[in-house]
Amino acid sequence: MLVRHEAPHTVETPAAPPLLPPDHLAMMARGVSVIVSSCGHDLTPSLMRAVGSQISPQGDRITVFLNRQQSTQLLRDVASTGRVAVVFSEPHSHRTVQVKSREARLREVTADDAPALVRYLQAMQDELGRIGFAPGFAAAVLAHRFDDLSAIEFTPSQAFDQTPGPNAGQPLQGNP
């Protein structure tokens, strides 16, 4: 007797289109000015400049690095609420993207993060050099002690064009 075994039938759910268009994602990944914000349960805001960022190739995983001592309230708010809003802005053009999540988490910074921090500093020195600032300016603004850094990781759930002009505030949707 021959018994035929068939593989179980599975239905694949089509992947959602990417949240960020490729050109916006490339700008963010290159290394531009990054401002991180959150709020407490009472909606009181907290805000701080990041000293680095790292974006996954698909833009589905974003990590921002903050000076822990300068960001105490912001880190407390993210740990408590999971909320984060991050603005990536290109100083020479003012092109700006805002991403948000309600599922952000804190993590320790490891030696594996060091290359991303070096790349980010170099990118910001190059970017600020385009508008006349010497490399030492970016180094001073982004100065940190490695042992005082904290990382916030998240998957963005919303993205907005925040470039000044008629499209400011409009939701972004990547190309399918």
Mean pLDDT over 10-32 rounds to 76
Percent of the chain with pLDDT over 90: 84
DSSP assignment string, 27-81: HHHH--EEEEEEE-TT--EEEEE-SEEEE-TTSS-EEEEEETGGGHHHHHHHHHH
pLDDT of residue 174: 65
Residue 163 CA: distances (Å) to CA of 1, 48, 63, 74, 90: 70, 20, 22, 24, 9
**pLDDT tier at 4, thresholds 50, 70, 90:** low
Separation between Cα atoms, residue 47 and residue 138, nearest integer Å: 19
In whole numbers, what is the pLDDT of the chain averaged over residues?
90
Mean pLDDT over 81-97 rounds to 96
Q: Which residue has the tokens 């000015």?
A: 33
pLDDT, tens only, 132-154: 999 999 999 999 999 999 999 99
Contact 59, 19 (CB under 8 A): yes
Asked whether residue 18 carries a pLDDT value surpassing 90, the answer given is: no
The model's pTM is 0.87
pLDDT of residue 6: 53
Asked whether residue 119 carries a pLDDT value surpassing 80, the answer given is: yes
pLDDT of residue 12: 53
Closest to 112 in 3D by CA, of 83, 79, 146: 146
